[in-house]
Amino acid sequence: MRHLFASLFLGLAACSLGGATALQQGTGAQWTSPGGDAGKTHHSLLTAITAENVGQLGLAWAADLGTMRGQEATPVVIDGVLYTSGTTGRAYAFDAASGKELWRFEPEVDMQVNRTVCCDMVNRGIAVARGKVYVAALDGWMYALDAKTGAVVWKSDFIEDRRRGDNSTGAPEIAGDVVVVGMSGAEYDVRGYVTALDLETGKLRWRWHVVPHDPKLGPQETPELEAALKTWDPNSRWDIGGGGSPWDAIHFDPETGLVLVGTGNGGPYATSKRSPAGGDNLYLASLVALDPRTGRMKWHYQETPGDNWDFTATQPMIFTRMDIDGQSRPVVLHAPKNGYLYILDRRDGKLLRANPIVRTNWAKGIDPKTGRPILDPDAADYTTGPKIVFPATTGARNWHPASYDPATGLYIGAVLDMGNLIFMTEGQKPFKARGLNNDAALIFTPDVKEALAAFPPAFGDAVRKLPAYQEALRQPATAQVRAIDPLTGKTVWAADTAGWQDRGGVLTTASGLTVYGGVTGKLFVRETKTGKLLKEIDTGTAIMAAPMTYEVNGVQYIAVMAGWGGGGYPFVPRYSAAYTRDNMNRLLVFKIGGGPVPMPDMRPALEVAPEPPAQVVGVTAQAIARGQGLFFSNCAICHANQPRSITPDLRRMQPATHEMFRQIVREGLLVPNGMPRWDDILSADDTDAIHAYLIDLQASTHKDELEKQKAGKPLDGPSLTILSNY
């Protein structure tokens, strides 16, 4: 019976709340959650595709998803049906063997939420149970869909306060008779939380908050929040919310009956502004274990106490068993942004190992007795002046799933060894509702030397004197897929990627294969033990999501979602397939004996930016400068103003766009296209100032590109990735 496996899996999950159930190490023909098995190891037991025949791997079928943004989900396959999700929480069902579309679902999303989405309108997956597909839309509505038809069975609003910047990009997680989901928005004005909804009705069962509320408002919701309050300054920036949004990494453990949740960064970024008296600021940047029946916390481990650097703990977790210190232990492997790979006991959160996997100058190490980092404030405390911090806020690891191969004991995933210059303004900034409140500017180390030319000499001199500056010049960034021994943190083998924005999820198989994609559009297959390249397939579409594999009627398939986007999505690097080809979002499915992959169309040749209209009479240099500030604090996170960006390059606005600028920005003329309205934040004068700045910018771009054209130089020269109020 269709979905019987899903029901049996859920039954095991429910039973495990009363008793232990062993984890399966790897998946068979089915792939029942985005992570594959109960441990989310992204490892498969299938062996039909091998090193000997992988040279014959080719396209079995493909599906056009109908969108042009980032794809980060890993599909699920149950009883011959492939389910997956996409932009803003769309959901799809296909016959897993033929690719025939069975249904697709598009939620009605309030695109105003797009103002508070730092890292694209992505979705990281669905959950399937009891004949229903659960998907969370970008604006924070959970949908339960009939798995056979895609019809809505129920929908439930899981956003606590819609006056805030809350949104949703993560995959829901089934835990017994509830579906647990997190939320995003820590850079804005949110107080993080996870929500549990009844599987059958969608009714709220419980909600667990990551950080306390203002103590002046009365008692905290839970005893653990009362305890956390002692780790915050009573005069913290409660108006901003504190951050901590658990936007990914929610994982039910059938062995312990607990739900482990990875929590987000603090808001604003700097502890000195968020909680002036200091403190650990529980439960930011932590792993917390919750009882899925009640929502009460059982244990916690804070990976980055008093988070000061956007070091989220929301990166994917892997559950397995390992022999450590003479005992077989149920463990969680976790590599968050902060540069360390942790091994914790899943039963009580006890730290067993913590080893650096990249350069980490914010801490000198992790004390094995206390589990606390040994901080290096001289190197990384940017509250006293600009600092170059390793790793960068992009993280040593991020949302891109890793895989654990039990046969080799290797943890294999995308690793980024890069830092960033980070600095902020003096004093406290006023609260900005549904706006960026992090108060920090970032310049990644590959761009630091060139960027300093745009700053006052005193600032540049201060940066050049930093001990980390020479280190940043010597090795600006290393981006690799690495096979790591989790017990030591040592790299067994590494494969370079095309650049620091080229990171993707990983699949391993029992036949000794490691499979992953690149934003270059290539799908790579390597030998797991050695990293030897066995096969690469050019798809023409950037790949960031993790591949998965399944079997139907004795045929093994490998599937992957493809499409450029995610964090920093407006900044399309030259090596991305989306730089030269249409960013057509696709689901690509491969098998032995398959054919070539059809290539997306080439992007049109770049033309000189059109000459803009003249400035309105009376516009001053001060007004243009004011518009520039407003642009960078409100607009630049989406509009990179690069010629190959997947969002509009506002230096290339046509006359009609200039004429309708106020209607677009303040009246929501292009809301259906994903451009929200800003009349609640930007006045008419503000909008006109931004427009004046863009006219000035377009005029200079037009002039510069005319000169380049006459000189025979390319129009799309390199540009810096500078994120203000990132």
Per domain, the residue ranges of the chain are 4-360+396-418+434-447+476-592, 621-724
- Per-residue pLDDT, 19: 43
Which backbone phi and psi does 527 adopt, to 5 degrees?
A: -75, 125
- Averaged pLDDT for residues 322-345: 97
Q: Of 114, 76, 72, 70, give the one whose Cα is nearest residue 92.
A: 76
CATH classification (class only), 4-360+396-418+434-447+476-592 = mainly beta
Share of the chain above pLDDT 70, in %: 96
**Identity of the highest mean pLDDT range in 389-403, 623-637, 662-676:** 389-403
- Averaged pLDDT for residues 348-364: 97
Distances (CA, A) of 504 to 31, 50, 479, 531: 19, 22, 11, 16
Least confident piece of the model among 388-397, 637-646, 706-715: 637-646
Which backbone phi and psi does 436 adopt, to 5 degrees?
A: -65, 125
Distances (CA, A) of 436 to 240, 433, 561: 10, 8, 30
Can you read off the two tokens belonging to residue 162? 């819609």
Q: How far apart are CA 206 and CA 228, in angstroms?
A: 19
Up-side HSE of residue 138: CA atoms within 13 Å toward CB? 26
Of the residues 310, 502, 688, 696, only one is catalytic, namely: 310
CA quadruple 4, 10, 12, 14: dihedral positive or negative?
negative
Q: How far apart are CA 155 and CA 202, in angstroms?
A: 7
Whether 578 contacts 562, CB under 8 Å = no
Q: How far apart are CA 330 and CA 345, in angstroms?
A: 6
- Per-residue pLDDT, 719: 53
- Averaged pLDDT for residues 349-360: 98
Contacts of 654 (CB under 8 A, 6+ apart): 610
Is the pLDDT at 613 greater than 80? The verdict is yes
Over residues 437-484, the pLDDT tens digits come to: 888 888 999 999 999 998 999 999 999 999 999 999 999 999 999 999
Is the pLDDT at 6 greater than 90? The verdict is no
Domain 621-724: which topology? Cytochrome Bc1 Complex; Chain D, domain 2 (1.10.760)
Active-site residue, 64 included: no
Q: How far apart are CA 167 and CA 160, in angstroms?
A: 10
Contacts of 530 (CB under 8 A, 6+ apart): 493
Q: Of 315, 369, 361, 324, give the one whose Cα is nearest residue 343.
A: 324
Over residues 87-128, the pLDDT tens digits come to: 999 999 999 999 999 999 999 999 889 888 889 999 999 999
Share of the chain above pLDDT 90, in %: 85
Task: Using DSSP bridges, classify how beta strands 522-527 and 533-538 pair: parallel, antiparallel or unpaired.
Answer: antiparallel
Is the pLDDT at 722 greater than 60? The verdict is no
3-class DSSP state of 557: strand
- Averaged pLDDT for residues 164-189: 95
Q: Of 292, 300, 245, give the one whose Cα is nearest residue 267.
A: 245
Is the pLDDT at 12 greater than 50? The verdict is no
Which backbone phi and psi does 99 adopt, to 5 degrees?
A: 85, 5
Select the more confidently predicted residue: 90 or 567: 90
Is the pLDDT at 8 greater than 60? The verdict is no
Q: Of 300, 149, 279, give the one whose Cα is nearest residue 223.
A: 300
Maximum Cα interatomic distance, the chain, rounded to a whole number of Å: 79
How big is the CA angle at 229 (ends 226 and 231), to the nearest 5 degrees?
Answer: 135
Q: How far apart are CA 213 and CA 228, in angstroms?
A: 10
Q: How far apart are CA 490 and CA 255, in angstroms?
A: 29
Q: How far apart are CA 211 and CA 333, in angstroms?
A: 24
Is the pLDDT at 14 greater than 80? The verdict is no
Over residues 486-507, the pLDDT tens digits come to: 999 999 999 999 999 999 999 9
Whether 536 contacts 527, CB under 8 Å = no
Average pLDDT, the chain: 93
Q: How far apart are CA 99 and CA 438, in angstroms?
A: 44
- Per-residue pLDDT, 715: 84
**Other CB atoms within 10 Å distance of the CB of residue 633:** 16
- Per-residue pLDDT, 718: 54
- Per-residue pLDDT, 384: 84
Is the pLDDT at 637 greater than 90? The verdict is no
CB-based contacts of 465-470 (< 8 A; 24+ apart in sequence)? 466/386, 466/387, 466/388, 467/379, 468/361, 468/379, 468/387, 468/388, 468/389, 468/390, 468/419, 469/388
Q: Which residue has the tokens 């900005």?
A: 432
- Averaged pLDDT for residues 296-316: 97
Q: DSSP per residue over 82-137, as a string?
A: EEEE-GGG-EEEEETTT--EEEEE-----GGGGGG-TT-S-----EEETTEEEEE-
Whether 482 contacts 412, CB under 8 Å = yes
Contacts of 42 (CB under 8 A, 6+ apart): 35, 36, 74, 318, 401, 402, 403, 404, 505, 506, 507, 508, 546, 548
- Averaged pLDDT for residues 638-666: 92
Q: How far apart are CA 303 and CA 537, in angstroms?
A: 38
Is the pLDDT at 386 greater than 90? The verdict is yes
- For residue 57, list its beta bridge partners: 592
Q: Which amino acid is at 389?
A: V
- Averaged pLDDT for residues 199-220: 98
- Per-residue pLDDT, 717: 63
- Per-residue pLDDT, 21: 65
Select the more confidently predicted residue: 706 or 435: 706
Is the pLDDT at 619 greater than 90? The verdict is yes
